[in-house]
Amino acid sequence: MNASYHVILETCKRHADRLQWAKFALTKHFPLSAERMAQLSDQEIAILDQFSTRFAKLQDAMGAKLFPAVLELTKEPENLPAFIDKLNRLEQIGAIPSAEDWLMLREMRNEFSHDYPDNPALQSAMLNKAFTLADTLLATLRFVEQFARPYQH
């Protein structure tokens, strides 16, 4: 088994476990609205922070580390010039379900870098979108793990 792939996968799974925990803990509050956000306790706000942080960390770890490790594991060319080329190759070989979905997940992760403390309506809309996309992110991790299983020796 490729040790590097295994370590990266375990890191991703740790982020995924914490993302799932936060998502489950927040389920009763979704869909969010500006009014609902104003009623959240400090603990619930902390769980929202955990959710957004783990979403971003998982998406980043998969894109920056797991995907290149899968390409290495499958003996695919690693010198693809652009990230989109890597995504398209991963989709072609069946390692990810959709390059287009991945770009949407990356866009969501980038939205987390913008904080909107003075605009709870915008903040709640962003979190509602992320709450739905979290399932796609988690499913993509499971998909990649299942795809890579036969390549591990």
* Residue ranges of domains in the chain, CATH in brackets: 3-151 (1.20.120)
Give the DSSP letter of residue 63.
I
**For each of the chain's 153 residues, which pLDDT tens digit applies?**
567 999 999 999 999 999 999 999 999 999 999 999 999 999 999 999 999 999 999 999 999 999 999 999 999 876 788 999 999 999 999 999 999 999 999 999 999 888 777 888 999 999 999 999 999 999 999 999 999 999 986
What are the counts of helices (DSSP H) followed by strands (DSSP E) for the chain?
7, 0
Give the span between the Cα atoms of 42 and 45, in whole angstroms: 5
For 57, residues 6+ apart whose C-beta sits below 8 A from its C-beta are 15
pTM of the complete model:
0.94
Give the span between the Cα atoms of 40 and 2, in whole angstroms: 44
Length in residues, the chain: 153
